[in-house]
Structure 1
């Protein structure tokens, strides 16, 4: 249900987007930014988001300014959120678009006196939003659709058309990571493997399967690079041991910005359903996305080159962090040969 507020999006020139707190969701949020620019080319888009998102937002040309959310995810911190909102009043925003559904995420925009505050009702945010939308999950089946819909009038046809995210990478940034990590330019192709998934083991393809893919690509003369956070180092080490240390292991040793710029050098990417999968898709890479407990229809890689592998077992998607049946057949049943066939074609 939309407000009758006459200050509609058509008049909005300065828009504050309250961004999500996950890598993949922030990548998908770029579809909203692109959509807003398509509708209103002269609009200014600022994004309020956690500090770690800066490296992504800096690679989104639609974003004018990234404003750091000073409150860590999970903390309520009412007075800090009120203080933040009051500090934003001088910005003169015409509209706020809230991508998180939490009550606390709406507090700063309310106290910023932003005249049009758009978001899904979420946690009963009627008083904080004056353009409160009811989410029809049957109509908007994808996360990216839900984001883009908030930038459109309430009576716009649904589901909306969603532009594909497209991170911008400069040669200077590429050269910077080449120099820092002392990469030797070679004629061989590069395969990036992303064996982690923050959500849990039910989204992680087995390391031994990744190792077999790595082994066969290395035998074909490819370089294989491993990406992930500190939490993924054990899986990456297992993969690398299986190929006698012939992979270049970047897990836990890069910033997100460096990982993005390094991945921009790759020819193909094999990944679980993770934030790095969405980054690879936004870099327009050939992505082979392996899905286990999650639903590829809900958060697919937004890239025409991407290929999804899922077994569609009766027990999946279960959306669990760990397999409730104890076998993880939805992942172990996906063979290295299936992935290699896609890389080769």
Structure 2
């Protein structure tokens, strides 16, 4: 989800700078709402569990795509499936992203500790290699969406500032400890409306607990579809997120995004788009010198799982208050 969301600011810049070029995005149908409002961009939904499953399914997919008269392919993913597609697209220009695997390996091994090229710039490089100039330095973002009556029944029409909080991530090592997050929510809810984002039965139960204990806190998990969630995000004043998809969804809509980092680090290039460095709140590397232990947070020493506990709740609260 995060990878798909990170393509959006790049595609928006591309379509503004090259309005005569048509783009077809090949992605999961679930992500289609990400690309709404982008001029000359359509979405081709891939069915990875059905007709496009396996090598034969990818061959069928390539035949369907060729009917679109595609001139060139920008592979922003560079995984096994796209490498198979590349074979089927033999003869057409097919440029793949350079993920900088060697640089990232050096970063997580401790051999080098420096800012790597951002993923957004790596995406842009693919289009540049296809022969298109592309500048990401002056981004434009969509306007706030007018919320539907259904959504307003859930969020209310409170005139307080709206703070989104997405406390979950794919790996526990990327999450802020929930007991400390509860302190953050309790404090922020005294001055702002707090809207909680998540998904799945366990997450819904946890977020319901936060809602029940605090006024001005609303759990959105399980109540809205993706398109409706994006509408709400477009109305936020700030999103507080882990190193996760929610951060990139908010950033692609031009929101201010505060991110909390555990065993991962912005130097790997996955910070949300167009955010100042001070919006990334980092675990204490003096106490946890092996950070980043991995690019995606899936590998870490056992005693690093709670690395983000080294970030005081007050620092998060003060950062949000100062921005507002």
Could you state the TM-score of these two structures normalised by the residue count of structure 1?
0.77
Q: What stretches of structure 1 of length at least 5 have no aligned partner? A: 1-22, 123-133
1:317 aligns with 2:292: yes
Aligned partner of 1:284 in structure 2 is: 254
Give the one of 54, 58, 61 matched to 1:77.
54
1:147 aligns with 2:118: no
Give the one of 40, 47, 53 matched to 2:25.
47
Aligned partner of 2:186 in structure 1 is: 215
1:205 aligns with 2:176: yes
1:100 aligns with 2:98: no
Aligned partner of 2:221 in structure 1 is: 251
Supply the distance in 2 between the matched residues of 1:161 and 1:152 (Cα, whole angstroms). 10
| SS of structure 2 residue aligned to 1:341 | helix
Match runs of 1:226-237 below 5 Å? 226-230=196-200, 232-237=203-208
| SS of structure 2 residue aligned to 1:96 | strand
1:68 aligns with 2:45: yes
CA shift, 1:245, in A, is: 6.3
Give the one of 308, 315, 320 matched to 1:338.
315
Tell me, yes or no, if the aligned pair for 2:95 and 2:129 is still in contact at 8 Å.
Answer: no
Q: What stretches of structure 2 of length at least 5 have no aligned partner? A: 105-114
Aligned partner of 1:17 in structure 2 is: none
- Residue by residue over 1:200-245, the C-alpha shift from the partner in whole angstroms, topping out at 9 and shown as x without a partner, is 100010122222122112222x21110011152244234335x346
Aligned partner of 1:190 in structure 2 is: 162
Kindly indicate which of the two structures has a greater share of residues assigned to helix: 2
CA shift, 1:29, in A, is: 1.1
- Residue by residue over 1:123-165, the C-alpha shift from the partner in whole angstroms, topping out at 9 and shown as x without a partner, is xxxxxxxxxxx977479632222211111138999xx853577
| SS of structure 2 residue aligned to 1:318 | coil
1:295 aligns with 2:265: yes
Does the C-alpha gap of structure 1 residues 169 and 257 become closer, same or farther in structure 2, counting only changes over 3 Å? Answer: farther
What value does the CA root-mean-square deviation take over the aligned residues? 3.1
| SS of structure 2 residue aligned to 1:88 | helix
1:116 aligns with 2:93: yes
Give the one of 169, 174, 178 matched to 2:151.
178
| SS of structure 2 residue aligned to 1:49 | strand
| SS of structure 2 residue aligned to 1:81 | helix
How many residue pairs match? The answer is 303
CA shift, 1:31, in A, is: 3.7
Tell me, yes or no, if the aligned pair for 1:94 and 1:114 is still in contact at 8 Å.
Answer: no
1:33 aligns with 2:35: no
- Residue by residue over 1:21-64, the C-alpha shift from the partner in whole angstroms, topping out at 9 and shown as x without a partner, is xx2111211243245335533111110111111010124x1452
Tell me, yes or no, if the aligned pair for 1:191 and 1:268 is still in contact at 8 Å.
Answer: yes
Supply the distance in 2 between the matched residues of 1:111 and 1:169 (Cα, whole angstroms). 40
Which has the higher relative contact order, 1 or 2, with Cα contacts under 8 A spaced 6 or more apart? Answer: 2
- Residue by residue over 1:281-338, the C-alpha shift from the partner in whole angstroms, topping out at 9 and shown as x without a partner, is 2222222110011121221111346711003410211124375233534211111100
